[in-house]
Structure 1
Amino acid sequence: MATEGSNSPLRFASVEASVPKITIQFCIQCKWNLRAAYYAQELLQTFSTSLGEVSLRPSTGGVFIVTLETFNQHSVLESHTIWDRKRDGGFPETKELKKKVRDIIDPQRDLGHVDGKKSATNPPAHPANAGHTRELKDVAAQVVDGPVKVSKLQDNRPESLGVQLVQAQNSSKSQDKAECEDCK
């Protein structure tokens, strides 16, 4: 900026606000960057150009907050906390996050299957694959609940779906891993 008495001309910048704007603030110590990127991708896929911007904001301290900025009818910028991990208890289901965003930016918008409606374009599941999803969910639940070693699916078929599960081991956290107090 030019000061009085200087020969430099004054310069003005135009700032354009990209609204509605979603910001996902996430803890890098907790390694929630992939989760934040996933939510950003899902929101962009669903709302596309109805959103002006989706940004990721790295933070620390166990933070995971999704905010939405919009203009109200008086052109005043408002900030809405869509989700706060500490306030709301954990992480949102993707469909819940989409509904909360929709309810603010476009309440009349139909979210299809997210709203509990079946899409007419989805083909029925192939009968040959009907049991695969169930079996994989059961195996995944076992992995989450404790160590398991699986080399073949229940009916002795090789893992043709590209799924290889190896023994999950509960290991102590590395001493050099920097964690926030919230995540210990």
Structure 2
Amino acid sequence: MEQTQSGRPRVEIEYCTQCRWLLRAGWVAQELLTTFAEELGEVALKPGQGGVFLVRLNGELLCDRKADGGFPDLAQLKQRLRDRIAPDRDLGHSERRPSAEN
């Protein structure tokens, strides 16, 4: 498992340079660092090619743009990350709660 020297988790965002997705990768990184400022040790941006946009936590794939059929929904990505690094944490307004069935 990849972790930082502090022992806190490492997120890696691999993005396609040919598609010019650096700004999107930077935005996702900023959102994750803002939300998980105390839990994460590092968010790294990794240049790639061929339409790649992957988000990994300690080497484990959290989302893949190609396999998932599009870019990750940020709220859903935050929930996936939270479930692995801080399962008891409330994400506030971005938390998706199941709607009540009538």
Provide TM-score, normalisation by structure 2.
Answer: 0.85
Q: Would you say the 8 A contact 1:21–1:52 is kept in 2?
A: yes
Task: Decide which of 63, 71, 84 is 1:83's aligned counterpart.
Answer: 63
Counterpart of 2:89 in structure 1: which amino acid?
R
Counterpart of 2:90 in structure 1: which amino acid?
D
What stretches of structure 1 of length at least 5 have no aligned partner?
1-14, 70-78, 118-184
Cα distance in 2, alignment partners of residues 97 and 16 from structure 1: 24
Match of 1:102?
A: 82
- Superimposed CA distance per residue, residues 82-121 of structure 1 (whole angstroms, 9 cap, x where no aligned partner): 110111111011111100100100111000001148xxxx
TM-align CA RMSD: 1.6
Higher strand residue share? 2
Provide TM-score, normalisation by structure 1.
Answer: 0.48
Task: Decide which of 40, 54, 58 is 2:29's aligned counterpart.
Answer: 40
What stretches of structure 2 of length at least 5 have no aligned partner?
98-102
Structure 2 residue matching 1:55: 3-state secondary structure = strand
Match of 1:52?
A: 41
Cα distance in 2, alignment partners of residues 116 and 88 from structure 1: 19
